[in-house]
Amino acid sequence: MKRLFYIILLVVISSLRVEAQNPGWIVPDDQKAKICLVKFTPDMLKQGEALYMKNCQSCHGIPTKKNFAAISPTPGDLSEPKVGTQKDGELFFRITTGKAPMPEFRNILTEDERWSVISFLRSFHKGYFQPDPEKMAGSIGKRIKLAMTYDTVKKKIMIKAIELTKEGPQPAKGAEIIVFVQRYFGNMQLTDTKRTSENGFAGFDWPQDLPGDKNGNVILGARVNDPAGKMQEAVVKDTLAIGVPTNKPALTDTRAMWSTRDKAPVWMILTYTLAVIVVWYFIIFIILSVLDMRKIKQA
Amino acid sequence: MEKIISDLSHHIRLNKGFFLWMGFLVLAFIACLYAYTRQLRYGLGVAGIRDYISWGLYISNFVFFVASSLIGMLISAVLGLIGMKWVHPITRIAETIAVAFAAVAGLVIVMDMGRPERLAYVFIYARFQSPILWDVTVITTYFVISLLLLLLPLIPDMAVLYKRFANLPGWLKPVYKALSLNWTDHPEQNRIIHRSIYILLILIIPAALSIHTVTSWLFALTVRPGWDSTIFGPYFVSGAFVAGSAAVIIAMYFFRKNYKLQDYLTDLHFNNMGKVLVLVAFVYLYFNINEYLVPGYKLKRADAIHLGELMSGHFAVTFWLVQVGGLLIPIILMLFRRMRRPLPLTIISIAVVLGAWFKRYLIVVPTMAHPYLPIQHVPDNFKVYSPTLIEIAITLLSFTLVLIIITLISKFFPVIPIVETAKDKGLDPLKSIES
């Protein structure tokens, strides 16, 4: 009885959370209208397939094979017409925002990467024609380009934002910039967001103790914060040798309990082998000597 | 002397009772084998085990089998080496039980494998760090030592029966002759066999302790509530002695009745086995108190959920039946001499064995039902484990196999060592063989 109560409570709470985040997974109209600004290419499709296999396949399975995970709510096969009839903008929104238990990919995949996943999915949807990016270009809003440099004197990461207008490139003023460091999974935001100055610059203090790889390399990224999706995504990524060089061997590099057989602790190999040899030496000795008894005749 | 031989070997013949019993076992075996072929064809999905509770009846049963097989070591080695003469008639029964359970325990693991044809991978890709490898190693070793401890003391008996037992069925004669290894009671032969048995009796003690300690480590080397315990090794070993002693008592009663061995398996043997059972049950009770009181006093979050499920939740009925009906009441009853007579002691032992089996279930399943990460977004049958009919049939398959092995060994070989019994009575059967 108690157990049932807890299960019900859990279900209620989890559904409430989902409701609050994402009522019914309804895609706003302006998001529905969103389209990819480039023509899908075979390269994109290939990249999309790789990303799909890494991020989506564990639940959704391989498209058309219907081998999606047996969980509830069911993830479904994404090659189905139910998915195929949705607009590009809807798919994009769903991938971006997720809906528990599906994670949101906002901070995991870039916009380009999300589009390439969609281009991969579209290859399974019969009768799909990609909306012409040329015709839509006008309605997409601002286009901003970012550039990133490291100021060794001030120890600051400098981001320059340039708006591409019809009159040519101009410094973008007041754009909200997020700087992040790439980790194994997802990104870590570096300090608060900052807005670009009059001449399009925003400077971020670089903490001197942040670890990099063994050469001190850190992968940094910056993007314009645009939750409403009013402009084309603007991101820049770069590898800079500004972290503290850290040479941490992977935990599986040394001999350890959790490593593979070839990296078993020496004492463990010795103990096991020795015990087996000693015990089986006696067993074999006994078997042989007992079998030998057959030759002994009564004197 | 003739009386001893005929008393201890008159059951070695094919009679109607044997065919009926064996026929029943074989029919049950075939029926259950059909269930296993279903599992082979359709996969482990035909059993009730799922992603979260992936160890169910099979693994509980495996632990029970390993436990029951441990008794061979306690009776033959520990009590034997101390010099307890009264255990002599029981040693072969204990070793038979040890061999049967140890042999089938390995098969039970195979029954829990979705792809049994990949069994060899356990060795090919073995990691020295993996308790699975240790387990496979010690079970194999223990089985071989137990088998030798069953066969070596049989050698003189085989020789005596081959030469002096007129009613030995003809088809058994070559088997007896082969197993007797030309035994002539030569002093050199005696020296070899005594030395061999002595070494084996010493070897089997660490082997038996390892087999069940390692089995307990399959659980205790995780951090899961209910398993994360430093006393799991001795806890399992003491529990094994309880299950095994009770199994031996039941077998003793059966052989005494059916093979008419009242003169050899006397009330004294039952009384003493009752005392052994009470002793090991007390040790086990002590470990039980440790195992539940210590985490129960601290009530760490995960332990609290686990203990709550056991004592007042989903598993409460089974838990209290096992603890009270399978351990506490038997202990109290067996403190009285009258309760250690053959029939009452056998009935108590049946309760103990049942309790021991369900105890293994309570060790395996409730912990699996409560992983640290919540179970969510899965179908209902992933959350609560209930064994399917096929799963139960496959479990019964292993039991029929054990019974078949015990029946065959005890039917075609003397249950009680003949030469040893004769020597204990001051007779020397082998002197007269050659004369």
Q: How far is CA A241 from the centre of its chain?
A: 23
A55: containing domain: 20-134
Of A14, A72, A296, the CB nearest to B189: A296
Q: pLDDT category, A98, cuts 50, 70, 90? A: confident
Helix (H, G, I), strand (E, B) or coil at A10: helix
Size of interface A-B (CB pairs under 8 A): 91
Cβ contact (<8 Å) for B193 and A269?
A: no
Which of A93, A115, A134 is at the close of a domain?
Answer: A134
Asked if residue B100 lies in contact with residue B402, where contact means CB atoms within 8 angstroms, the answer is yes
Same domain? A31 vs A97: yes
Does residue A60 form part of some domain? yes
Distance, in angstroms, between B186 CA and closest chain A CA? 6
Q: pLDDT category, A26, cuts 50, 70, 90? A: confident
Does residue A275 form part of some domain? yes
Asked if residue B68 lies in contact with residue B101, where contact means CB atoms within 8 angstroms, the answer is yes
Judge if the upstream peptide bond of residue A28 is cis by omega within 30 degrees of 0.
Answer: no
Of B125, B126, B377, the CB nearest to A71: B377
Chain B residues whose beta carbon lies within 8 Å of the beta carbon of residue A258:
129
Same domain? A152 vs A220: yes
CA distance B17 to B255: 13
Low pLDDT (below 70) residues in chain B: 429-435
Residue of B nearest to A2 (CA): B313
CA dihedral A27→A33→A36→A42, nearest 10 degrees, is 80
Give the model's pLDDT for residue A148. Answer: 92
What's the mean per-residue pLDDT of chain A?
85
Asked whether residue A71 carries a pLDDT value surpassing 90, the answer given is no
Give the model's pLDDT for residue B328. Answer: 97
Same domain? A225 vs A274: no
B320: domain CATH number is: 1.20.1630.10
Residue B372: Cβ within 10 Å count: 9
Mean pLDDT of A237-248: 89
Residue B205: Cβ within 10 Å count: 15
Domain count, chain B: 1
Which of A134, A154, A177 is at the close of a domain?
Answer: A134
Mean pLDDT of A74-83: 89
**Pairing state of beta strands A218-224 and A176-182?**
antiparallel
In the chain, the amino acid numbered B222 is T
Length of chain A as a residue count: 299
Does residue A152 form part of some domain? yes
- Structure tokens, A250: 């992977």
Domain count, chain A: 3
Same domain? A122 vs A159: no
In the chain, the amino acid numbered A245 is P
B210: containing domain: 2-434
Give the model's pLDDT for residue A22. Answer: 41
Distance, in angstroms, between B126 CA and closest chain A CA? 7
CA dihedral B367→B372→B374→B379, nearest 10 degrees, is -40
Distance, in angstroms, between A297 CA and closest chain B CA? 7
**Lookup result for tokens 């709510």:** A73
A185: domain CATH number is: 2.60.40.10
Does residue A10 form part of some domain? no
Distance, in angstroms, between A238 CA and closest chain B CA? 37
Of B134, B203, B313, the CB nearest to A2: B313
Give the model's pLDDT for residue A289. Answer: 94
Asked if residue A209 lies in contact with residue A186, where contact means CB atoms within 8 angstroms, the answer is no
ipTM of the complex: 0.90
> pTM for this structure?
0.76
